[in-house]
Amino acid sequence: MGIIQQTFRRLTTYWRDNAFLTYFLEIGFWLTQAGVIFYVLYRVNAGEVRLYVLLACLLGFSIYQVFAKKPYIRILEVIIRIVSSIYHFIRRLLDKLLLTPFKWIITLIYRMIKTIFGWTITLLLFILNVILAPFIWIGKGIYKIIPDSFKKFLKKIEGFYSKIKNICYRWLQLFRRR
């Protein structure tokens, strides 16, 4: 009983910040201890609780406190350190063998898709420029021969066109940066 209590006290440092969990585990620990003691008494003594049995439990706990507590605490600390080291080793191993390559592969796939998409957009814009170039040349030629009054009307429309063009250009630049 003393060893189990000492182990429980040592492990309470891990959940001390959570009050609900502390109370729940404390109550659970003592109910489990009482259940184990009464089960052992039932199996050994046919369920009869006598004074000398309670005194024997107290004497056993006292002897543990005097003679075995310090060596057990040292052994417990070593065991906790070993288990903690194994846990951290396995965690780092899984991180290096599974998570890091997975992150790298996902990043690589993302960058490849982004690059291919960027090349596709660039190629489509080039093809669009090649297709539209003759129409632009024809439009510039027609613009030179139209009357000045119609050119003034086109200048008014040009301001609206310029705003739309700038918005589309900024959006395209933002998309290319990503």
Running along the chain, 178 residues long, what does each successive block of 10 average in pLDDT?
81 80 88 87 78 84 87 92 95 92 94 95 94 90 83 77 83 79
**Of 131, 130, 150, 132, whose CA–CA distance to 142 is shortest?**
150
pTM: 0.55
Residue 111 corresponds to which amino acid? R
List Cα–Cα distances, 106 to 94, 97, 109, 118, 175, in angstroms: 17, 15, 5, 18, 20
Q: Can you tell me which residue has the tokens 């990043």?
A: 107
57: tokens are 């439990």
Q: How far apart are CA 175 and CA 122, in angstroms?
A: 12
Q: What is the pLDDT of residues 118-129, one digit of tens each?
A: 999 999 999 999
DSSP 141: H
